[in-house]
Amino acid sequence: MKSTAVFKQMKGRQEPITMITAYDAPGGKAAEKAGMDIILVGDSAGMVVHGYDSTIPVTLDDMVMHARAVRRGAPGTFIVVDLPFLTYHSSIESTFTAVRRLMQEGGAQAVKLEGGDEATTETIARLTASGVPVTGHIGLTPQSVGVLGGYKVQGKTKEAAQRLMEEAQGLEQAGAFALVLECVPGELAARIAMHLSIPVIGIGAGAGIDGQVLVFHDAVGWGDNFVPSFAKQYTNVQTQIDEALENYVSDVKARAFPEDRHTFSMDASVLNDLGR
């Protein structure tokens, strides 16, 4: 399993870091098999797995369950788990409780939390001082969608760009070992990555940074979720799933399934002895 030190070295030798989300054992297993550097158990589970229209309804129990499943599927991969909505804001005690559950019950190596304001950097400083590896997440922060007023590109004005740069530096100073940048112009993301010594992993943040993260279901084309323009669909498993299930339905209706090879049989004499 790779470590936070390895990710920093990878940035140093300009080797891109690969990250994908996973929510269950087969997803984790596939990611590990592909040689993913990091698996993110993201609260995007709310949308792609649970059918909500945002990450807000996702609970700590949900994330613990997803983390445990992913860990069983990917025993050898560094796992980061999202702290869900409002689990790291009210007190440091409740934040520690949430982190303890994600790491001890969920089996995660690290947690990720959204935001770059002073309160968030203070929380990150407390966590890292206590031995918790933390990934920051700024730019588009989906847990604040209600405040941001929608899912849109961040950091396009001089003030917003300046603020993102300062937040990124604050998160590094607070001890974050990596930073996720979401929906930020490529030029600004590259500038931020250049000014930081910790790896910057992007989603919708261009190629000039230290790594990339995609949502599993976007990458494989699973579900009917909106696929953002910055995501790349490497395949479309949904069309295969649709076809398979349609064929199953028509097979059963036509009595074409099950066939003999799908059916157990027994000695005819036993059936005779049974009478009628």
Residue set of the binding site: 43-44, 82, 112, 114
From 32, 182, 187, 246, active-site residue: 182
Nearer to ligand KIV, 190 or 214 (CB): 214
Amino acid identity, position 116: G
C-alpha 140/C-alpha 150 separation (Å) is 9
Which listed option, ligand KIV, Na ion, none, makes contact with residue 134 (CB within 5 to 8 Å by class)?
none
Beta bridge partners of 139: 182
Residue 182 is a catalytic residue: yes
Binding site for ligand KIV (CB under 6 A): 21, 40, 42-44, 82, 180, 182, 203, 213, 215
Binding-site entries for 3-methyl-2-oxobutanoate: 43-44, 82, 112
Which listed option, ligand KIV, Na ion, none, makes contact with residue 180 (CB within 5 to 8 Å by class)?
ligand KIV
Nearer to Na ion, 32 or 82 (CB): 82
Which listed option, Na ion, ligand KIV, none, makes contact with residue 80 (CB within 5 to 8 Å by class)?
none
Q: Please list the alpha-helical segments (H only) found in 74-176.
A: 92-100, 118-129, 145-148, 158-174
Nearer to ligand KIV, 110 or 215 (CB): 215
Nearer to Na ion, 82 or 210 (CB): 82
C-alpha 180/C-alpha 140 separation (Å) is 10
Angle between helices 92-100 and 118-129 (to 10 degrees): 50
Give me the half-sphere count of Cα atoms (radius 13 Å) on the Cβ side of residue 64: 13
Give me the half-sphere count of Cα atoms (radius 13 Å) on the Cβ side of residue 43: 25
Q: How far is the CB of 17 from ligand KIV (least distance, A)?
A: 13
Catalytic residues: 182
